[in-house]
Amino acid sequence: MILQDENSWDNIQIQSGPLINGQYHYAFERVKGNTPYTIYAGTDFDNDGLIGSSGEFFGIYQEESSHQNKIIINTDLFHLDFTTDYVK
């Protein structure tokens, strides 16, 4: 999981965790408010430091109502669920 600042393109937080019942759980804490962020998820099977290469999984959280990738955090947010797809 990667939380990326859309203004600077910096990766603010990076997390990894176990697969539990087909899901990964994540929580980003102490995130600066009023900043646009994008949340990425993926695998790095080849250990090249990049997620979502060919043969790996990749996904981006997308706001359901606006279908935009970036979110602006002004309060605690919960249940930001999304899927990943296999990259050919």
User: DSSP labels for 13-65?
Assistant: EE-----BTTB------SPPSS-EEEEEEE--TT-SS-SS-TTSEEEE---TT
Total residue length of the chain: 88
Query: Is residue 26 one of the residues assigned to a domain?
Result: no
Q: Give the global pTM.
A: 0.88
Report the pLDDT value the prediction gives residue 5, as an integer from 0 to 100: 96
Domain presence at residue 23? no
What is the tens place of the pLDDT at every residue in 2-29? 999 999 999 999 999 888 998 989 999 9
- Is 24 among the domain residues? no
- Tell me, yes or no, whether 65 lies in a domain: yes
- Please report whether residue 66 resides in a domain: yes
Quick check: is 25 in a domain? no
> How many domains does the chain divide into?
1
Q: Print the domain residue range for 54.
A: 1-18+31-88
